[in-house]
Amino acid sequence: MDLAQLTHDLEALAAETRAAVAAATDSVGLESLELDVLGKKGRLTVVLRGIGALPVDERPKVGAIANQVRSGIEAAIAGRRRDLGESELEARLAAERIDVTTPGRPFRRGSLHPGVEAMAEIARIFAQFGFVVHESPEIEDDRTNFQMLNIPPDHPARDLWDTLYVDVPGYLLRTHTSPGQIRVMESTPPPIRVLLPGRCFRYEAIDASHASEFFQVEGLMVDEGTTLGDLRGLLEAFAHGMFGPGRKTRFRPGYYPFTEPSVAFDVECLVCGGVGCPVCGRSGWLTILGAGMVHPVVLRNVGLDPERYQGFAFGMGPERISMLRHRINDLRLFMENDLRFLEQFR
């Protein structure tokens, strides 16, 4: 191996590599070419191994040529890589082109069921008066659904609630949320302010205003010195929050076994403003809930002294509230889950 031979080999390698670089068609091929020539075990290294056989004074010359060859190849590869990169990017951009002006697919946006919406609104209003939401079971026992509420077995008051029983003796589907009152009073000492929303069940013939499954929202307050006037003021604030400020309200006498006195709470008709129309049955009033002072027997049943504690309770149907607010004329719509109905409440 002499200087001339080595120089020749280097230049041959340089020429061959430049040609190969120019011929490379993609950056992957270029990469392997680079490794093949300039890599640790590449062809340039192999050629340079011959340097060791040269006389010491000739080695720097070959070293200089080798450096030139190496940087020449590096520059050629870098240039080619740039060109290939550009055309590859362009090819990709062309292949993956998207039309950003195409209209998107619309999202199907859900909405709250009007019954759920009404319950949330009821809870929001009573929360301002310190009422917290509790839940109680849908499958109840006879004792809690009836007896503790001053409705003894075989008492005619049971006819107020047509009951669906389950096939476990002593158990039934709750006919109202009032058993929740018992559960709260049995587990929590006064003062009590709770709201009990939930599904109720009755053995009913279904029509535009009756369902066998519906919701109620029950309210209960128990404290020392609670009065019917407190109940009246609270319900009036509720009616104003729900149906608009300034609406007239009234108490009428009512009957429930677990409250005494019992009342029906009416709001001035939302449609005719009290003049009388078909919606309010020409009375000018709409009944929105039943209420009353917790019966002393009920207080005693849960171990509270009626001389010390008094309470009031109220119960309403959120579907009915929603029907009044949105002028919905058929209760069955709440159960049918017809999107054409539900999508109107956004």
Report the 3 state secondary structure along the chain. Answer: CCHHHHHHHHHHHHHHHHHHHHHCCCHHHHHHHHHHHHCCCCHHHHHHHHHHHCCHHHHHHHHHHHHHHHHHHHHHHHHHHHHHHHHHHHHHHHHCCCCCCCCCCCCCCCCCCHHHHHHHHHHHHHHCCCCEECCCCCEEEHHHHCHHHCCCCCCHHHHHCCCCECCCCCEEECCCCCHHHHHHHHHCCCCEEEEEEEEEECCCCCECCECCEEEEEEEEEEECCCCHHHHHHHHHHHHHHHHCCCCCEEEEEEEECCEEEEEEEEEECCCCCCCCCCCCCCCCEEEEEEEEEECHHHHHHCCCCCCCCEEEEEEECHHHHHHHHHCCCCCCHHHHCCHHHHCCCC
- Compute the least distance from the CB of residue 220 to ligand PHE, in Å: 8
* Single residue of 146, 243, 314, 334 touching ligand PHE by CB under 6 A: 314
Sketch the per residue contact string, 202 through 231, with ligand PHE: x for CB under 6 A, - otherwise. Answer: ----------------x-------------
Q: Which of 238, 256, 265, 309 binds ligand PHE (CB under 6 A)?
A: 256
Quote the CA–CA distance of 326 and 339 in Å, as a whole number: 16
Q: How far is the CB of 299 from ligand PHE (least distance, A)?
A: 14
Which pair of tokens denotes residue 68?
């030139």
Going by C-beta distance under 8 Å and a sequence separation of 6 or more, which residues neighbour residue 273?
A: none
Evaluate whether 289 touches 304 at the Cβ level (below 8 Å): no
Candidates 29-37, 110-118, 203-211, 312-320; binding stretch for ligand PHE (CB under 6 A): 312-320
CB of 280 to ligand PHE, least distance (A): 20
Quick check: 290 binds ligand PHE (CB under 6 A)? yes
Q: Which of 150, 226, 249, 259 binds ligand PHE (CB under 6 A)?
A: 259
**With contact defined as beta carbons under 8 Å apart, do 190 and 306 qualify?**
no
Q: Residue with the closest Cβ to ligand PHE?
A: 315
Q: Which stretch binds ligand PHE (CB under 6 A): 162-170, 225-233, 268-276, 287-295?
A: 287-295
Q: Judged by CB under 6 A, does residue 268 bind ligand PHE?
A: no
Binding to ligand PHE, residues 84-123 (CB under 6 A): none
Choices 37-45, 309-317, 319-327, 335-343 (CB under 6 A): range interacting with ligand PHE: 309-317
Looking at 136, 145, 178, 226, which residue binds ligand PHE (CB under 6 A)?
A: 178
Q: 195 vs 324, which CB is nearer to ligand PHE? A: 195
Question: Applying CB under 6 A, does 201 fall inside the site for ligand PHE?
Answer: no
- Residue 146 in contact with ligand PHE, rule: CB under 6 A: no
Which among 150-158, 206-214, 308-316, 335-343 is the span making contact with ligand PHE, rule CB under 6 A?
Answer: 308-316
Query: Shortest gap between Cβ of 109 and ligand PHE (angstroms)?
Result: 35
310 is an interface residue for ligand PHE by CB under 6 A: no
Name which position in 184, 231, 313, 323 contacts ligand PHE (CB under 6 A). 313
Kindly state the number of chain residues that form the binding site for ligand PHE, as judged by CB under 6 A.
11
Which spans of this chain sit near ligand PHE (rule: CB under 6 A)?
176, 178, 218, 256, 259, 290-292, 313-315
